Amino acid sequence: MEYTQLGRTGLKVSRLVLGTMNFGPQTDEADSHAIMDAALDAGINFFDTANVYGQGENKGRTEEIIGNWFAQGGDRRDKTVIATKVYGTMAADGVAWPNHDKLSAVNIRRAVDASLRRLRTDHIDLYQFHHIDRATGFDEIWQAVDTLVQQGKVLYAGSSNFPGYKIAQANETAARRGGTIGLVSEQCLYNLAERRAEMEVIPAAQEYGLGVIPWSPLHGGVLGGIIRKEVQGGRRASGRTADTLADPAKRAQIQAYEDLLDKHGVEPGEAALAWLLTRPGVTGPIVGPRTAEQLASALRAVELELSDELLTGLDEIFPGTGPSPEAFAW
């Protein structure tokens, strides 16, 4: 496994991030523990979760599964950089009681204590804001985070799904306050088929020294060889993936992608991950395996070197928009 520092921090993390959103809803506890053991054995030390994972009436279940894994000992907690998130309501029906969601100081304090209980740990390495809160200023947010850092409950703070201007606003507020490190990472939607983050988000992250952690690196399975799987009689596309393939132009684009990788003898899912690992500013993509086999495939991507010819071909199929302001101006 390769390691890098998380943004401008001294924290060393693996180039793949283990996503745990499937733990509970799709992968039972025993299999989830086996996947985490295999990930740690392979050198993945960076695990990502969120307080709302588990879904519906089982929100928080994913953190509990991880906490039970930590409780097995064997230096599991000591070897793991654990990241979780705060923002959404924990109510099963999605209707929040006042002050029980978003980023007010009172909810951050409540949410971090609840996550610590579920994770069965005394601190969270990276505490991430799952979304922007338009009603709460960053002075209040940083005051709450500073208190948690002083208490030893949180080490670093990160963002998720932030636009570039909010990354700038957050870190300029932190700099003005002094005594706080500000955001050290941004977790955003970024992959070959969805490159809008290159316009503003990734340049802002690089400017302020944030590590970029792409989520949905296979674009919901679209980049994982979905057309080939259909032809071979495998799992048929559903949901957003089916909608994508129903568009003739997008289907032709995905077919061209799969044909290009067939020509080079590279597996689609592994190529999509390997491409992200070549991108400036990227710390590591989040992989969310449901099975041990899917984890093994993700691990191969770290060792995969994409030729210049293949990288050029990928850019031709998925050109992206380019950075701003040139993306929309002269």
Residues labelled catalytic: 53
Q: Tell me the C-alpha distance between 131 and 88, whole Å.
A: 8
Q: Write the DSSP symbol of residue 104.
A: -
Say if CB 187 and CB 155 are below 8 A apart. no
**Radius of gyration in angstroms for the set of CA atoms belonging to the chain, rounded to a whole number:** 20
Please give the C-alpha separations between residue 216 and each of 72, 94, 168, 194, in angstroms, as whole numbers: 30, 23, 24, 10
Q: Which helix (H) or strand (E) holds 125?
A: strand 124-129
Q: Tell me the C-alpha distance between 19 and 199, whole Å.
A: 25
Say if CB 48 and CB 213 are below 8 A apart. yes
Beta pairing class for 124-129 and 154-160: parallel
**How many CB atoms neighbour CB 296 within 10 A?**
12
Backbone angles phi, psi at 179, to 5 degrees: 80, 5
Q: Which helix (H) or strand (E) holds 76?
A: helix 76-79
